[in-house]
Amino acid sequence: MLHPLQVVRNLGREFSQLGRYHEAEAEEKPAASSLEAIDLARLVTDLYEEGDDPALRAAFALLEGCLVDGDPAVRGWAGRTIEQLHDLAAWKPCGREPFAECLGEESSRVWSALNRICRASVGSDFHDASVFEAELARWHAVREAVRLPARVAA
């Protein structure tokens, strides 16, 4: 089972550019030691915009590995990363479609749950829900999608 420290090491080794998302505090810590979900989500959108398909696929493979082999903390982090990517991609000119093509089986479950929430909110009473209620619904969807890998849950 992958533990958070292993993931941080793997990310730091695979994506040295993650350090650019950190403030001045990065000088005191090794690259990616304080990695937030938004950091990898930003990197993924940047990789797409730069046209670095091999690195983009490697990032998605790493996320998929976190969902399949990670402990609960790692799976939760991967779910939050996918949620952040889903949000960021909505504001990019390319939209969400190019990223959906890179998803593995487990990350697709999270992405699909987020898409269902988006579709349900259009033209429904969900649009009138408070921000807290909307965030709570998203949190539940992601939490449920990353709780156990599909092959273990089956």
User: Using one digit for the tens of pLDDT, what is the confidence trace for 94-152?
Assistant: 889 999 999 999 999 999 988 888 776 665 555 566 666 667 677 667 777 777 565 55
Q: Which residues contact 92 (CB under 8 A, 6 or more apart)?
A: 45, 48, 49
pLDDT band at 24 (very low <50, low <70, confident <90, very high): very low
pLDDT at 137: 72
80: enclosing H helix or E strand: helix 72-90
Map residue 28 onto helix, strand or coil: coil
Residue partners of 34: CB distance under 8 A and separation at least 6: 22, 25, 26
Question: For residue 28, what are the contacts with CB-CB under 8 A and spacing of at least 6?
Answer: none
Share of the chain above pLDDT 90, in %: 38
pLDDT computed for residue 115 by the predictor:
87
Does position 33 have pLDDT exceeding 80, yes or no? no
DSSP annotation string for 107-136: HHHHHHHHHHHHHHHTTSGGGGS-HHHHHH
What pLDDT does residue 31 have?
A: 41
Q: Is the pLDDT of residue 50 over 90?
A: yes
pTM of the model: 0.76
